[in-house]
């Protein structure tokens, strides 16, 4: 099966965005009299009782953790999820057993390439579907227009492209292995003395008169 690997669409222009603080950054400091107005009813990260290490660390910089953000988003999206039900659980797990067994038995570049090609052909539809979704998410509400580098839209489009890069890199590895086996580069050879042109006469060795 011929595999035509193309990158995800990159129809966006980005600008350099100023750096933003993160909970894991050790360089942020807050003035002694700094106060923050809670942005969420349960944005109470300053009591260590019942808080995990990430929340305690984030509280030093008055930031929510990733888990906090996800928890609030899940709560606020409940009516939407009820109106738009989605399949539960992950996509079906592929059975790698036959591929790994064949890989263990492979002895030649042709044999390992046959197994790897089979895996890539089987995985390509799922990877391409994931790439298509990430690209669509990057274009949500046309946020990809003039998206700053590091913005959600820019990161999603980068993820869409890198999803397909998995296929491209694996395909390149297989091609390089086959080229080394079937079409190796010629080995440079040093010319022998017999093949060298005759040396020019030394100066002053002209004919006698």
From first to last of its 209 residues, the chain has per-residue pLDDT tens of: 556 555 545 454 444 444 444 444 444 444 444 444 445 555 554 455 566 777 767 777 777 788 888 888 889 999 999 999 988 888 888 899 999 999 999 999 999 999 999 999 999 999 999 999 999 999 998 877 777 888 888 899 999 999 999 999 999 999 999 999 999 888 777 665 555 666 666 655 555 54
Taking the C-alpha atoms of residue 185 and residue 207, their distance in angstroms, rounded to an integer, is: 49
* Entry pTM: 0.63
Rounded distance, CA 65 to CA 56, Å? 9
Cα separation, 168 vs 174, in Å, equals: 10
Question: Rounded to whole angstroms, how far apart are CA atoms 183 and 158?
Answer: 35
Rounded CA separation 92/94 (Å): 6
């Amino acid at each position: 099966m011929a595999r035509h690997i193309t990158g995800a669409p990159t129809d966006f222009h980005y600008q350099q965005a100023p750096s933003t603080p993160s909970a894991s950054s050790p360089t942020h400091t807050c003035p002694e009299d700094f106060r923050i107005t809670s942005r969420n009813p349960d944005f109470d990260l300053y009591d260590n009782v019942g808080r995990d290490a990430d929340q305690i660390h984030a509280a030093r910089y008055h930031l929510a953790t990733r888990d906090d953000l996800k928890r609030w988003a899940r709560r606020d999206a409940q009516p939407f999820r009820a109106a738009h039900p989605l399949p539960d659980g992950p996509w079906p797990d592929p059975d790698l057993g036959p591929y790994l067994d064949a890989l263990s038995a492979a002895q030649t570049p042709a044999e390992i390439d046959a197994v790897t090609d089979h895996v890539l052909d089987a995985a390509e539809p799922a990877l391409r579907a994931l790439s298509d979704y990430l690209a669509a998410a990057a274009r949500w509400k046309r946020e990809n227009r003039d998206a700053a580098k590091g913005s959600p839209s820019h990161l999603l489009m980068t993820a869409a492209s890198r999803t397909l890069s998995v296929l491209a890199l694996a395909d390149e590895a297989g091609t390089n292995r086959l080229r080394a086996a079937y079409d190796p580069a010629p080995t440079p050879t040093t010319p022998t003395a017999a093949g060298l042109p005759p040396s020019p006469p030394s100066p002053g060795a002209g004919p006698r008169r």
